[in-house]
Amino acid sequence: MLFVWHGSVLPKLLPRLSLLFVLSIGVVFFSGKIFSFKIPLNPTPLTLFGFVLALFLGFRNNVSYDRFWEARKLWGALLNCSRSLARQVLTLPEPPDRLHAVHFINLLVSFTYALKHQLRDTDPQQDLKKRLSEADYSLIISAKFKPVMIMKLMGEWVAAAHQAGRIDTIQQMRLDENLDKLAEIVGGCERIISTPIPYSYRVLLHRTVYLYCFLLPFGLVDSLKWLTPFIVVFIAYTFVAFEAIADEIEQPFGTASNDLALNAMCQTIETTLMELSGEKIGEDPGPKNDIID
């Protein structure tokens, strides 16, 4: 674990830590003086201040991780709800034409990919075109909230099945309950992505962390001498890395290394639904994971 590089926040922190290392060398070289003025710092106030700062960083990380974990639970619920809907539809009497169960499964898979692209603000055309009929694709692709429009098509599928006498009222209600769960999942994901942590709070913590790291070599130079740059960089890495990780997982639907693996989750949902329906899943040209080199 000491030598793990891929997926770590260390690469993006190296320029800042290198700058701090050079600053610490300068502080040691000039014995903590700036233009012959000795900075009167010692480790005691820095220790107390670092303890308080660690508490704030812990709170910040807890808030970010709560958002990350809530997002993960929502996508776990999406997998469960998709399987339930597929099972309910596939165990109905085989309907003809547009009421064919595979058509509903394709809509359900397309809903998953449409939600992923909406959360990441990416282009869904390739994923939707290969999974939707031409009529459905032309209707969905022009919509602003594509997952919601696909839910509307699934609702129309259920209503048509009821009108055709393929399902009774109780079965229709059970299907609608799962469609309502899909709507709740979409709303929960939208709530996370549209409600970031207050900017003023982030700025305050960011400034405080870097001010502490800037003052740290002045407080340690008298006791550590030439060990100061190494100890300062190690302590700074701990604080700055905590802040960087919190920033990364605050919006868990992105493509950073520590964000949710939405590509893999979509492929898992598609694979399990295709398996339930007895259909073969083709090779997906998209990315196999969400880690960006």
What ranges in the chain are assigned the alpha helix state H? 10-29, 43-90, 101-120, 125-129, 134-140, 146-163, 169-194, 199-224, 228-250, 262-277
Distance CA 47, CA 57 (A): 15
User: How much is the pTM?
Assistant: 0.84
* Ranges assigned E (strand) in the chain: 33-34, 37-38
**Other Cβ atoms closer than 10 A to 171:** 17
Q: What is the pLDDT of residue 81?
A: 95
Residues 6+ apart with CB under 8 A from 76: none
* Mean pLDDT of all residues in 32-48: 78
Helix (H) or strand (E) holding 276: helix 262-277
pLDDT digits (tens, 9 = 90+) for 100-149: 788 899 999 999 999 999 999 999 999 999 888 898 999 999 899 999 99
Instruction: Please report, for the chain, the start and end positions of each structural domain, with discontinuous segments joined by +.
Output: 14-29+40-212+219-277
Q: pLDDT-derived band of residue 287, with 50, 70 and 90 as boundaries?
A: very low
| Tokens 């493509």 found at | 255
91-127 burial, b for 16+ CB within 10 Å, e for fewer?
eeeebeeebebebbbbbbbbbbbbbbbbbbeeebeeb
Q: What is the pLDDT of residue 95?
A: 52
In three-state secondary structure terms, 38 is: strand
In three-state secondary structure terms, 289 is: coil
* Mean pLDDT of all residues in 216-241: 88
Q: pLDDT-derived band of residue 30, with 50, 70 and 90 as boundaries?
A: confident
